[in-house]
């Protein structure tokens, strides 16, 4: 964890609430309203994402996503890992720290539970916290020699087929050198943070968040010799879509992306931006694994 000795004072806090989680859990609305009231009493400006504000009864503080992107000194995110991923991408562009409050399932990225929110906010506003930086990925979709799309991800970039379950050839290079041409359902390029997400489900290795590496994992390859490959974080991975192949998608953190065409090249590298996660205690990744995956004593 990177703990900062002096933290700039907070003036503006954005609260991002997952409206579906708020609908599922009646406690969310009350806790969020109490938290926002506490921030306002301390003289901070507060804004809430529009759909989340409606879900918890704070429409007077609602702001659009573009407004939230340029507003806060800190982001407080109430939801699951998916909500935190989305907020982390937003905050990374300006280096805004993100405090994750888990009301979801696994909660790998969250720092506190809903019941811990009041104390967590006090420590955040008072500067009694650390900030852990996480590596992110930058991807470019190259079409006809020109960059057609750019994306930023905290977990992974995934190239897969849409529609019918048919294998496709996936030519994969590292630093311009041909690594493999997989016949598979798709390919994952993951950060260490994302190694516990889709990468893990596809049989890839778990990496500690501080490891400087990328993981290249084929999805259901049609050969027993195909295996995930861990490469240096300074390496550049490229994935080529074969000519004539249709219905291919690039998905970013499982949330956004774009359709790909035959001949497109997806170029993935370590991003200059970093996700900044608020930490209130010394993190233990191995304890987290033990808890989330029930790797306890017999």
Residue 8: pLDDT over 80 = no
In a domain, 16, yes or no: yes
Q: For 85-108, write each residue's pLDDT tens digit.
A: 999 999 999 999 999 999 967 778
Residue found by looking up tokens 């590292």 in the block: 174
Between CA 91 and CA 93 the distance in angstroms is 6
State residue 244's pLDDT score.
85
Whole-angstrom CA distances from 84 to 237, 275, 277 are 26, 10, 10
Q: For 269-297, write each residue's pLDDT tens digit.
A: 999 999 999 999 877 889 889 888 888 76
In a domain, 36, yes or no: yes
- 216 lies in the same domain as 103: no
Residue 13: pLDDT over 80 = yes
Q: For 121-171, write each residue's pLDDT tens digit.
A: 999 999 999 999 999 999 999 999 999 999 999 999 999 988 666 789 999
Q: For 35-86, write each residue's pLDDT tens digit.
A: 999 999 999 999 999 999 999 999 999 999 888 989 999 999 999 999 999 9
> Residue 27's domain is classified under what CATH number?
3.40.50.10330
In a domain, 184, yes or no: yes
Residue 199 parent element (H or E): helix 198-201
Backbone angles phi and psi of 199, in degrees to 5 = -55, -45
Residues, the chain:
298
Residue numbers annotated as active site? 81
- 58 lies in the same domain as 81: yes
Q: For 217-254, write each residue's pLDDT tens digit.
A: 999 999 889 999 999 999 999 999 998 888 999 999 99
In a domain, 61, yes or no: yes
- 265 lies in the same domain as 286: no
Q: Which domain holds residue 214?
A: 136-272
pLDDT confidence tier of residue 4, bands split at 50, 70 and 90:
very low
What pTM value is reported for the model?
A: 0.92
Looking at 78-135, list the stretches that DSSP marks H as alpha helix, in order from N- to C-terminal side. 81-92, 117-126
- 168 lies in the same domain as 98: no
> Residue 170's domain is classified under what CATH number?
2.60.200.30
Structural domain total, the chain: 2
pLDDT confidence tier of residue 5, bands split at 50, 70 and 90:
very low
- 266 lies in the same domain as 142: yes
- 89 lies in the same domain as 176: no
Between CA 42 and CA 152 the distance in angstroms is 34
- 29 lies in the same domain as 89: yes
Tokens of residue 263, six digits = 């001949």
State residue 297's pLDDT score.
65
Between CA 205 and CA 216 the distance in angstroms is 10
- 284 lies in the same domain as 226: no
- The per-residue DSSP string of 206-250 comes to P--TT--EEEEEEES-SSTT---EEEETT--EEEEEPTT--SEEE
Between CA 171 and CA 194 the distance in angstroms is 22
In a domain, 218, yes or no: yes
Q: What is the mean pLDDT of residues 9-28?
A: 93
């Amino acid at each position: 964890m990177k703990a900062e000795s002096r933290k700039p004072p907070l003036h503006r806090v954005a609260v991002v609430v997952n409206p579906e989680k708020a609908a599922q859990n009646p406690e969310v609305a009350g806790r969020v309203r109490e938290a926002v009231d506490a921030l306002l009493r301390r003289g901070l400006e507060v804004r809430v994402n529009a759909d989340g504000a409606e879900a918890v009864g704070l429409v007077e503080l609602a702001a659009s996503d573009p407004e939230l992107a340029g507003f806060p000194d800190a982001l407080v995110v109430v939801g699951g890992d998916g909500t935190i991923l989305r907020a982390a991408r937003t905050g990374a562009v300006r280096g805004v720290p993100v405090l994750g409050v888990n009301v979801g399932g696994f909660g790998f990225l969250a720092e506190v539970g809903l019941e811990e929110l009041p104390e967590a906010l006090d420590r955040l506003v008072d500067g009694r916290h650390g900030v852990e930086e996480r590596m992110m990925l930058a991807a470019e979709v190259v079409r006809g020699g020109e960059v057609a799309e750019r994306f930023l991800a905290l977990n992974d970039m995934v190239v897969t087929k849409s529609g019918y379950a048919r294998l496709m050839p996936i030519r994969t290079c590292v630093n311009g050198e041909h690594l493999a041409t997989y016949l598979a359902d798709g390919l994952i390029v993951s950060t260490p943070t994302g190694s516990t997400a889709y990468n893990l489900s596809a049989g890839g290795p778990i990496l500690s968040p501080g490891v400087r590496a990328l993981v290249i994992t084929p999805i259901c390859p049609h050969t027993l010799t195909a295996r995930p490959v861990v490469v240096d974080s300074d390496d550049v991975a490229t994935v080529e879509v074969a000519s004539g192949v249709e219905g291919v998608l690039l998905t970013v953190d499982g949330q956004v992306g774009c359709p790909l065409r035959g001949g497109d090249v997806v170029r993935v590298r370590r991003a200059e931006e970093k996700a900044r996660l608020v930490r209130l205690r010394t993190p233990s990744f191995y304890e987290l694994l033990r808890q989330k995956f029930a790797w306890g004593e017999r």
